[in-house]
């Protein structure tokens, strides 16, 4: 196989490099997880699963980099809807800020509602039925079933 600049910078290879950087950064962050006394003898600690995820991610990204095909050969879609991408990035940013202020249930429900709207869904039954009840059920499962703390939001804490 002859390598040229187009085949070196194909979509799969660039994606693999981005994923490799993400995994290595995540792997570095796993080293910062504190260990408890006696963890050195435990077979499974707080670092075990993140380390396994890092290893799998690094392995898969290296596999993607090595086996990447040129864009014409892999059938990659090169035209991209940048407006939709930017809209979702703005929505996720607003969700991040809104989560702190209005809490998990309201912020996540509004994020899903707006996300479905941006993707073209206009039926009110789907917009409202897939966002608020799903998020409420998910919140109940996490907080009541698994005893996981979720952000209540400054707005509700001040009431």
Over residues 49-107, the pLDDT tens digits come to: 899 999 999 999 999 999 988 877 776 666 778 899 899 999 999 999 999 899 999 99
Q: What is the pTM of this model?
A: 0.60
Burial class (CB in 10 A: 0-12, 13-18, 19+), 148: exposed
Domain that holds residue 95: 82-156
CB contact set of 6 (below 8 Å; sequence gap of 6+): 70, 71
Question: Quick check: is 4 in a domain?
Answer: no
Residues 103 and 150 in one domain: yes
Overall number of domains in the chain:
2
Which of 9-23, 39-53, 75-89 has the least mean pLDDT?
75-89
For residues 69 and 91, membership in a common domain is answered with no
Identify the pLDDT of residue 45: 85
* pLDDT at residue 5 in the model: 65
Q: How far is CA 152 from CA 4, 98, 104, 113, 142, in A?
A: 53, 11, 6, 19, 13
Q: Is residue 3 part of a domain?
A: no
**pLDDT tens digits, residue range 137-146?**
999 998 898 8
Distance between CA atoms of residues 100 and 150, nearest Å = 10
DSSP string covering 72-131, please? HHHT------HHHHHHHHHHHHHHHHHHHHH-HHHHHHHHHHHHHHHTT---HHHHHHHH
Distance (Å, whole) CA 60 – CA 46: 23
pLDDT band at 36 (very low <50, low <70, confident <90, very high): confident
Which of 51, 73, 95 is the last residue in one of the domains? 73
pLDDT at 57: 97
Q: How many angstroms separate the Cα of 108 from the Cα of each of 37, 63, 65, 126, 130?
A: 38, 35, 35, 15, 11
């Amino acid at each position: 196989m002859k390598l040229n600049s187009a085949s070196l910078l194909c979509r799969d290879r660039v994606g693999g490099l981005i994923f490799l950087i993400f995994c290595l950064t995540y792997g570095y962050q796993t080293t910062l997880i504190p260990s408890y006394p006696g963890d050195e003898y435990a077979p499974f600690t707080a670092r075990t699963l993140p380390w396994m995820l890092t290893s799998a991610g690094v392995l898969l990204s290296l596999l993607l980099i090595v086996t990447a095909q040129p864009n014409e050969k892999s059938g990659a879609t090169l035209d991209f809807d940048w407006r939709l991408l930017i809209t979702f990035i703005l929505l996720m940013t607003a969700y991040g800020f809104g989560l702190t202020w209005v809490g998990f249930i309201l912020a996540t429900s509004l994020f899903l509602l707006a996300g479905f709207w941006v993707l073209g869904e206009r039926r009110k039954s789907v917009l409202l039925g897939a966002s608020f009840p799903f998020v409420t059920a998910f919140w109940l499962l996490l907080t009541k079933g698994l005893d996981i703390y979720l952000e209540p939001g400054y707005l509700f804490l001040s009431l």
